[in-house]
């Protein structure tokens, strides 16, 4: 098939809409549902991310996309008991592929609501069963087991979008994009991100770039290749835990992503784990309540009457001082930036969220200030020498 007609474009008034190949056949097959314009933008960006991540790490990889940027991305690293609890998968069968997607979706569960999922490897029954219980719009993978496909075809009253991507497909060297009737053309960003990249230029006094840090920086930088710029990414244990996308100021991007990383960590606090949720509360409502509980708006979910909507009894207040003390325990995080940090303030903000390893392009006239700030906190920082803007 060379062409696929779509319902409409980004918005209902944008008709007609289609995707097509100038040469050859479309490299994907729709196994269930009907894709929309934005579905396909998410599908192809997320597929590139997980395909590249699997090639770089050798681990099953997954992504959770919303509006052409990842809400989360991860490789398959076993979940701790606490992580199983905060991702609501206690007692659930886990496989390498399902673990990768559970991590990707767990990065920012609120943003992943209604996501598009991408899987680097075959979608097995465990992954399909997890997708079936979450609010998601579609999935793309290289293949599906018979049972997995059966499960997914039953989601959303039979309308869940299931796409199979040809894993051998390689696009042309040059890519084109049309804006306002004007055609842009550029070489695809084939810049390789691998282990050696983070060892070639370490300007900080601390040069102890551990294997775990390299894995996490690979996750960060490949995630950033497919995130709307400006963008930064915080990673812990092979999982993006804070992604800041599309900010005009890099420090605002660092703050946004850092706040998301803080929220991911706050979800693991004993007070949050012990919240007495009513049995009839759906997971999205739990996510919303947790998000309010760990914020400065904590009183909104604890005020008289409000707590009864989600809890069996009124929880203790989670004070700002308690939250600050818990966040201070974060450590070992990796931070990637899609371009150089122009000032040391980005490093200052990253430190507050437990960052110990950094990767950025380098090349700023203030590199000395950034290096000095990283040295102040004994961080290990790599200059990769390449900008990774994505638009």
Residue pair 117/139 in contact (Cβ under 8 Å)? The answer is: yes
- Three-class secondary structure of residue 272 per DSSP: helix
Q: For residue 369, what pLDDT is reported?
A: 95
- Three-class secondary structure of residue 284 per DSSP: helix
Q: For residue 301, what pLDDT is reported?
A: 86
* Phi, psi values for residue 315, rounded to 5°: -70, 160
Of the candidates 369, 384, 374, 314, which has an alpha carbon nearest to the alpha carbon of residue 350? Answer: 374
Identify the sign of the CA torsion 258, 105, 265, 49: negative
Among the options 32, 45, 51, 66, which is catalytic?
A: 66
What's this model's pTM, rounded to 2 decimal places?
Answer: 0.96
Q: For residue 303, what pLDDT is reported?
A: 85
- Three-class secondary structure of residue 13 per DSSP: coil
Count CB-CB contacts under 10 A for residue 86. Answer: 21
Distance CA 216, CA 209 (A): 11
Of the candidates 315, 290, 312, which has an alpha carbon nearest to the alpha carbon of residue 302? Answer: 315
Q: What are the distances in angstroms from CA 137 to CA 115, 140, 187, 346, 370?
A: 6, 11, 31, 35, 41
Cβ-count burial of 173 within 10 angstroms (0-12 exposed, 13-18 middle, 19+ buried)? exposed
Local structure of residue 317 (DSSP, 8 states): P
Among the options 32, 45, 230, 263, which is catalytic?
A: 230
Structure token digits, residue 75: 């490789």
Is-catalytic flag, 390?
no
Fold of 174-265+327-383: Cytidine Deaminase; domain 2 (3.40.140)
| Ranges under pLDDT 70 in the chain | none
Is-catalytic flag, 67?
yes
In the block, residue with structure tokens 């933008």: 41
Which residues touch 125 (CB under 8 Å, ≥6 apart)?
A: 145, 147, 148, 151
Structure token digits, residue 277: 């949720």
Treating both helix axes as pointing N-terminal to C-terminal, what angle do 345-352 and 367-376 enclose, rounded to 10 degrees? 30
Domains 3-165 and 174-265+327-383 share a fold: yes
Decide which of 3.50.50.60, 3.40.140.20, 2.40.30.10, 2.60.40.1180 is the CATH code for 3-165: 3.40.140.20
- Three-class secondary structure of residue 372 per DSSP: helix
Q: State the DSSP string of 61-95.
A: EEEEEETTEEEEEEE--PPPHHHHHHTT-TT----
Of the candidates 137, 133, 135, which has an alpha carbon nearest to the alpha carbon of residue 118? Answer: 137
140 sits in which H/E element: strand 136-141
381 sits in which H/E element: strand 380-383
Computed on alpha carbons and rounded to an integer, the radius of gyration of the chain in Å comes to 21
Q: For residue 102, what pLDDT is reported?
A: 98
Domain boundaries defined on the chain: 3-165, 174-265+327-383, 270-317
Of the candidates 357, 367, 361, which has an alpha carbon nearest to the alpha carbon of residue 340? Answer: 361
């Amino acid at each position: 098939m060379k062409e696929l007609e779509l319902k409409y474009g980004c918005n209902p008034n944008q008709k007609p809409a289609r995707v097509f190949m100038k040469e050859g056949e479309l490299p994907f097959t729709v196994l269930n549902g009907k894709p929309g314009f934005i579905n396909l933008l998410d599908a192809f960006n997320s597929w590139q991310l997980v395909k590249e991540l699997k090639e770089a790490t050798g681990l099953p990889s997954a992504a959770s996309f919303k509006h052409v940027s990842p809400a989360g991305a991860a490789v398959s690293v076993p979940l701790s008991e606490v992580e199983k609890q905060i991702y609501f998968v206690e007692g659930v069968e886990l496989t390498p592929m399902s673990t990768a997607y559970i991590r990707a979706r767990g990065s920012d569960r609120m943003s992943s609501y209604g996501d598009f999922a991408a899987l680097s490897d075959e979608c097995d029954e465990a992954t399909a069963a997890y997708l079936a219980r979450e609010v998601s719009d579609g999935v793309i993978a290289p293949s599906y087991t018979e049972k997995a496909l059966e499960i997914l075809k039953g989601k959303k009253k039979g309308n869940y979008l299931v796409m199979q991507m040809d894993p051998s497909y390689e696009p042309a060297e040059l890519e084109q994009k049309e804006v306002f009737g004007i055609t842009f053309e550029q070489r695809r960003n084939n810049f390789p991100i691998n282990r050696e990249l983070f060892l070639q230029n370490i300007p900080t006094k601390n040069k102890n770039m551990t294997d775990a840090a390299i894995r996490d920086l690979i996750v960060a930088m490949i995630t950033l290749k497919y995130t709307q710029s400006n963008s930064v990414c915080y990673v812990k244990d092979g999982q993006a835990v804070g992604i800041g996308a599309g900010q005009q100021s890099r420090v605002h991007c660092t703050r946004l992503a850092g706040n998301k990383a803080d929220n991911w960590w706050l979800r693991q606090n004993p007070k949050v784990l012990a919240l007495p949720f009513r049995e009839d509360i759906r997971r999205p409502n739990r996510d919303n309540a947790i998000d309010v509980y760990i914020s400065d708006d904590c009183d909104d979910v604890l005020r008289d009457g409000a707590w009864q909507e989600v809890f069996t009894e009124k929880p203790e207040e989670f004070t700002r001082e308690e939250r600050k003390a818990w966040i201070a325990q974060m450590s070992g995080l990796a931070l990637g930036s899609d371009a150089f940090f122009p000032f040391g303030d980005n490093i200052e903000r990253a430190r507050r969220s437990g960052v110990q390893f950094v990767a950025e392009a380098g090349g700023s006239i203030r590199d000395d200030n950034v290096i000095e700030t990283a040295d102040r906190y004994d961080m290990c920082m790599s200059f990769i020498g390449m900008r990774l803007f994505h638009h």
